[in-house]
Amino acid sequence: MPKTELPRTPCRAALLSLILVLVLPVIAAAAERAPARVSGDFASAIVLDAGTGLILEAHREHDRLPPASMLKMMTELVVLERVAAGSLSLDDVVTITANAAKVGGSQVYLKEGERFTVRDLLMALAIHSANDAATALAEHVAGGTAAFVELMNARARDLGMNNTEFHSVHGLPPARGQRSDTSTAYDMTLLARELLTHPEALEWGAMIEAPFRDGTFTLHNPNRLLGKFRGLDGLKTGYTRAAGFCVTATAEQNGLRLVSVVMGCSTNNARAAETSRLLSMAFAMYEPVKIIDGPGDALPQMLAVRNGKVKAVPVTYGEALTVSVPRGRRAELVIERELPRQATAPLAAGAEVGRALVKLGDRLLGSVPIVTMQEAPRGSWFHRLVH
């Protein structure tokens, strides 16, 4: 693989840099392409690579709009994260309150005093978009919906959802004196990408229907694209009169997973049609290209070690990386390796000491850490003298 060495320049504050550029092959001044700007029967839309977050297509993706039931992805995420942390179990039993039983809209007709597992209620939320199930889960986790909304907004801030403000756990239109939930298509993709790290969310999002209440009730998924668009397996629809028809969708084809959001579609049919069109365009325009296999052979550049028992340690890529590339432009990809001139001992094996950046022109497509392949203990005065 050809390589070009650039002059040594300062990197970020913590990295006095030596930037090595590997070009596949070397192309001078490759032009950057912005995401495709699209239009259609929607107020806002976006399609991005689920793995890297690279935006492929977009239209007014940062406009603040009501997300309707798509915000239940955050309700689901908050609960699943507590399950993953061990403070909650999917088998825990939830007793339905009078407040949860009276919530209207899409529901599974919970009754005060009924008992369901957290798993049952999450499935009702994820598949059937049940507002009463969302309320019951919020009350069980936080003691009340207001406290749970605070958890939702805190998590949104953590994820960088800077144009999102939640006021409910279900996305129903606000009652008199209440404020409307607001978010953006872009923020919904941040939420969806995080939710996809929990396998249960994708499992439930892909279900067209499922039994509930011992099989006496059937959960129905309003996502019309399930089973009709190749590789589509989620994630969450939404509708109110103010929000229009919305959906956060995800699909995988040939190893490339995309996430799309449309907000403000005029009809249910338009929501499905526009999502199909945007995903089809993105899958046709982009291809997955595996750039880095992951930890393996040592990189050509050794990392010098100051005050160490050894003078230098080998380094390697810490993770594998596949990126979405416009078809026909893989030859323009560039890998930049940012590595300090030296690091100070002690260093553990596997310690992150730099980053590898994959770019197309000036556009960052993805990055992985560069890590040490062996430890570098602090040396004695003799080692320091010799080195």
Catalytically active residues are: 69, 72, 129
Contact 180, 127 (CB under 8 A): no
Cα separation, 296 vs 298, whole angstroms: 7
What's the Cα-to-Cα distance from 336 to each of 17, 27, 30, 351, rounded to whole Å?
Answer: 11, 14, 14, 19
Secondary structure of 219-250 as H, E, C letters: EECCCCCCCCCCCEEEEEEEEECCCEEEEEEE
Q: State the sign of the Cα–Cα–Cα–Cα dihedral 187, 81, 226, 246.
A: negative
What tokens does 27 get?
Answer: 């192309």
Helices (H) and strands (E) in the chain — how many of each? Answer: 9, 21
CB atoms within 10 A of CB 208: 12
182 DSSP β-pair partners: 165
